[in-house]
């Protein structure tokens, strides 16, 4: 993996970027990159959003083709809602098709960056074939593709875009990754370069962890209430005590493939689930934790043992 700051596009400090779909992520991406000195042009179907961006002094285009023509990088921030339990990629693919059409005649290298949250395999299996079909050229020499997931919170969208914990660059090839790295060169954040699928998976893993963490502490809150304990007093000590939340042990327990074992975790988990049953409180998440651990245990890998707990 190339180190930050060694890519061949480093000299390009001011890049021309089209941002397609100016919702929460698109607006933060475009306004944030403009604040970093890049030249931005927005396109969105929603004319009111476009008018507002124009009033705020940002460049807008009247079509995807115009936006692509004016830029060397196109960032697609299309919505990918969950419809009937599945990810709806219609908007993403229809934008990809229009971007591909616009690239058909473009003589110079152009990078297409997918910022939407999509399951592993969608960029390679759906977006790239769509762009290749409509541009009538293969991804590689003239067109690059990256997946660059976003981790912002809606309330702090611009701030979070400008101060990422890490910039994740899933690259179709090295040239595409270099070009995208040059766009983020002034951010001063760690840059992680990986495959398209790894980038897509990193985004889901982060969201799923956040969801599971919130549900874990909600389940603890319910257990606390059932036994008359103030859960805030319990929770606020976890960053000092729980492995994995402690600053010095942040990576504890994050690498998969090994079940937990040893003197304490299996026995305490089982005992607490049964104890809470006697109080009339089910612990569905912790019960699932036991099921997952049993399943991983059956794969017969060396267990993780928590010594002296």
Ligand X SMILES: NC(=O)c1ccc[n+]([C@@H]2O[C@H](COP(=O)([O-])OP(=O)(O)OC[C@H]3O[C@@H](n4cnc5c(N)ncnc54)[C@H](O)[C@@H]3O)[C@@H](O)[C@H]2O)c1
Q: Which of 15, 17, 18, 20 is close enough to bind ligand X by CB under 6 A?
A: 20
Name residues whose C-beta falls within 8 Å of residue 299's C-beta, 6 or more positions apart in sequence: 257
Stretch that binds ligand X, among 40-48, 105-113, 192-200, 232-240 (CB under 6 A): 40-48
Min CB(97)–ligand X separation in Å? 10
Closer residue to ligand X in complex, CB, 156/272? 156
Binding positions for ligand X, 227-246, rule CB under 6 A: none
Using Cβ positions, the residue closest to ligand X within the complex turns out to be 23
Assess whether 264 carries a catalytic annotation: yes
Min CB(40)–ligand X separation in Å? 15
Q: Which of 89, 117, 135, 182 is close enough to bind ligand X by CB under 6 A?
A: 117
Q: Decide: 29 and 41 in contact? Cβ < 8 Å.
A: no
Query: Does residue 124 bind ligand X (CB under 6 A)?
Result: no
Closer residue to ligand X in complex, CB, 35/45? 45
Q: Which of 75, 76, 31, 38 is nearest to 56 (CA)?
A: 31
Query: Does residue 95 bind ligand X (CB under 6 A)?
Result: yes
Query: Does residue 79 bind ligand X (CB under 6 A)?
Result: yes
Min CB(41)–ligand X separation in Å? 13
Query: Does residue 56 bind ligand X (CB under 6 A)?
Result: no
Query: Does residue 50 bind ligand X (CB under 6 A)?
Result: no
Query: Does residue 202 bind ligand X (CB under 6 A)?
Result: no
Q: Which of 13, 62, 63, 94 is close enough to bind ligand X by CB under 6 A?
A: 94
**Composition of the chain by helix, strand, coil, percent to 5:** 45, 15, 40
Handedness of CA 34, 38, 41, 44 (dihedral sign): negative
Q: Which of 49, 41, 76, 43 is nearest to 62 (CA)?
A: 43
Closer residue to ligand X in complex, CB, 79/129? 79
Query: Does residue 33 bind ligand X (CB under 6 A)?
Result: no
Query: Does residue 23 bind ligand X (CB under 6 A)?
Result: yes
Q: Annotate 18-47 with DSSP letters as a single string.
A: EEE--SHHHHHHHHHHHHTT-EEEEE-S-H
- CA of 28: how far to CAs of 21, 42, 79, 160, in Å? 11, 11, 14, 9
Query: Does residue 158 bind ligand X (CB under 6 A)?
Result: no
Q: Which of 26, 30, 170, 172 is close enough to bind ligand X by CB under 6 A?
A: 26
Query: Does residue 131 bind ligand X (CB under 6 A)?
Result: no
For β-strands 304-305 and 73-76, DSSP reports them as unpaired
- How many residues form the binding site for ligand X (CB under 6 A)? 23
Annotate 220-237 with three-state secondary structure.
HHHHHHHCCCCHHHHHCC
User: Which residue of the set 7, 12, 77, 264 is catalytic?
Assistant: 264
- CA of 81: how far to CAs of 41, 90, 109, 119, 143, in Å? 25, 10, 31, 12, 27
Q: Decide: 113 and 25 in contact? Cβ < 8 Å.
A: no
The catalytic site residues sit at 264
Interface with ligand X by CB under 6 A: which residues?
Answer: 20-26, 44-46, 49, 77-80, 91, 94-95, 116-117, 150, 152, 154
């Amino acid at each position: 993996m190339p180190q930050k700051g060694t890519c061949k596009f480093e000299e390009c400090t001011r890049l021309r970027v089209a941002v397609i779909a100016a919702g929460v992520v698109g607006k933060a991406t475009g306004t944030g990159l403009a604040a970093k000195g890049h030249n931005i042009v927005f396109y969105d179907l929603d004319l009111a959003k476009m008018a507002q961006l124009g009033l705020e002094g940002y460049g807008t285009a009247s079509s995807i083709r115009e936006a692509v023509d004016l830029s060397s990088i196109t960032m697609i921030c299309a919505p990918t809602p969950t419809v009937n339990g599945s990810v709806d990629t219609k908007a993403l693919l229809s934008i990809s098709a229009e971007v591909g059409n616009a690239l058909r005649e473009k003589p110079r290298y152009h990078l297409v960056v997918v910022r939407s949250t999509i399951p592993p395999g969608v960029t390679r299996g759906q977006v790239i074939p769509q762009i290749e079909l409509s541009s009538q050229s293969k991804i590689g020499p003239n067109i690059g593709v990256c997946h660059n997931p976003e981790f912002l919170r809606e309330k702090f969208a611009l701030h979070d875009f400008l101060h990422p914990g890490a910039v994740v660059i899933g690259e179709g090839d090295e040239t595409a990754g270099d070009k995208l790295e040059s766009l983020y060169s002034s951010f001063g954040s760690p840059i992680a370069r990986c495959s398209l699928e790894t980038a897509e998976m990193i985004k889901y893993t982060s969201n799923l962890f956040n969801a599971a963490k919130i549900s874990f502490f909600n389940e603890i809150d319910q257990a606390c209430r059932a036994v008359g304990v103030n859960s805030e007093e319990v929770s606020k000590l976890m960053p000092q005590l729980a492995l994995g939340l402690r600053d010095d042990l942040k990576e504890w327990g994050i690498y998969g493939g090994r079940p937990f074992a040893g003197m304490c975790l299996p026995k305490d988990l089982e005992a607490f689930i049964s104890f809470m049953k006697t109080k009339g409180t089910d612990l569905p998440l912790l019960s699932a934790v036991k099921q997952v651990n049993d399943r991983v245990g059956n794969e017969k890998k060396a267990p993780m043992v928590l010594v002296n707990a």
